[in-house]
Chain A
């Protein structure tokens, strides 16, 4: 008979670490999908996921069981991703002249005929990835959660541990920061 999550967690806390494995197996896809939003290289994604599970094991006694385990784990994942962004901030510098051919083409198409530049194009995906990399860690986190994952301000506050007003302020600053990057990119490319 399959054990429930609560039973597995209780077993781990009683000193049976093997009961942790089904939890890792069940929730790793979600952890990996989240980590891939913030890290590009697969080795970095794996490092983040590993760090999340090690922290989850260490801090499991702080899980009170009031909310689902998944929520607790996602909070841990988002905070680990944020730490990763802060640590790797300096490695993310790139120049606008580094844009690939398809990215430049997409931008040119957008400049001349915005409606023909499809957002489903691979070039657009690459371009947004590069722009997000230019953002500061809090801006990137808040843009990802609010604009890309479409989460509410309250939910972001819960995930990040920031207050609701702080999330709002950071969201405002993040949008401005992104606009500034796009303006700089457009100016360097087309003026």
Chain B
């Protein structure tokens, strides 16, 4: 069998039979509906992604602060002074008022 001739003939057969360009009924409507649903889904995905990122950042900050407080005993021993100072500063005006009376 002449393979080169067979190849030529089969390719000619393919050329002679151009494919159909028929479009299924309401295809464009389906595409538009799909695009609309994807746009909605995209918004939801964006929101979810943003919220997840925010949650991860919050957890990371909480962990860092926790670790900082846990591994920093000097800071924890000074915390009483800090709180006392804060309290006396906050109540300074009340104390002054009491002394004046």
Contact = CB atoms under 8 A, between A and B. Distances in A.
Contacts of B100: none
A124 B15 contact: no
A169 to B, nearest CB: 19
Given A17-B32, A33-B20, A150 B15 contact: yes
A36 B20 contact: yes
Given A33-B20, A36-B19, A110 B35 contact: no
A119 B9 contact: yes
Interface in B13-68: 13-24, 27-28, 30-32, 34-36, 38-39
Interface string A4-19: 0000000000000110
Given A32-B23, A131-B10, A178-B7, A125 B39 contact: no
B38 A54 contact: yes
B75 interface: no
A33 B35 CA distance: 22
Interface in A9-45: 17-18, 20-21, 24-25, 28-30, 32-34, 36-37, 42
B36 to A, nearest CB: 7
Contacts of A29: 21-23
A61 interface: no
Interface string A171-191: 000010011001100100010
A159 interface: no
A143 B8 CA distance: 12
B35 A128 contact: no
Contacts of B32: 17-18, 20-21, 24
A68 to B, nearest CB: 18
Contacts of B17: 120, 125
Contact of B13 (A18, A32, A111, A120): A120
A96 interface: no
A25 B14 CA distance: 27
Interface in A117-135: 117, 119-121, 124-125, 127-129, 131-132
B90 interface: no
B17 to A, nearest CB: 5
Interface in A128-154: 128-129, 131-132, 143, 147-148, 150
B35 A148 contact: no
Given A17-B32, A17-B35, 20 more contacts: A20-B32, A24-B28, A24-B32, A28-B23, A32-B22, A33-B20, A34-B19, A49-B23, A54-B38, A110-B9, A114-B5, A124-B9, A124-B10, A125-B14, A127-B13, A132-B14, A143-B11, A147-B15, A148-B11, A186-B6
